[in-house]
Amino acid sequence: FMPRLPLEAPRTRVFDAAELVAVAERLRPDLAAAQLDVAAAEMSIQVARSLSKPRFSIGLGYTLVDERTDAHPADNGRDIFGITGGVSLPVQRRVNRARIDQAAAVRLEAEAVRRNALAEMTAAIGELVDRLGELEQRRRLIDHELDVQTDQALQLAIEAYRAGSSDALVLLDARHARLT
């Protein structure tokens, strides 16, 4: 009887679906693009809202005046400093409201695209993790069954060889199968 060689068993790794989803969410470019679309739509909403509010402006000006030779010698060499102000009132309220509504619709669509992509990815990862667990169970079962079957085949080959009903080639094949 041939001694069994101590072989290292394959290492099994347990995968956490939530951890894989978190990693995939960070690394998948389609999810990053969808997140950027959501952020861009949010910015569009903010811009559209700002356009529907009055805007105020203040301006400062300063002009250097050199020596002049014209008819106003009293202002000769005096620099000019000016302050201006203004107010811009939004008069197209319907247009601005439509901009806000359109940007909100784009944001909702982008959020839906991101949610759908994330749900599909989560489902696919869950299926793969489940499949890996099933395959690991099958591997263990096959390993155990193969060990039992190769042991039995080797014992039968040894007995057949001793009885003279089999040749050495069958015995060597059975030992080779048991070792591999």
What is the pTM assigned to this prediction? 0.53
Q: What is the pLDDT confidence band of residue 7, given thresholds at 50, 70 and 90?
A: low
Residue 96 has pLDDT above 60, yes or no: yes
Identify the pLDDT of residue 122: 93
More reliable by pLDDT, 40 or 72: 40
Determine phi and psi for 56, rounding to 5 degrees: -110, 145
Q: What are residue 49's phi and psi, to 5 degrees? A: -65, -40
Q: What confidence score (pLDDT) does residue 9 get?
A: 59
- Interval 13-68: pLDDT, tens: 677 888 989 998 889 898 899 999 999 999 999 998 888 888 899 999 998 877 76
Average pLDDT over residues 105-127: 93
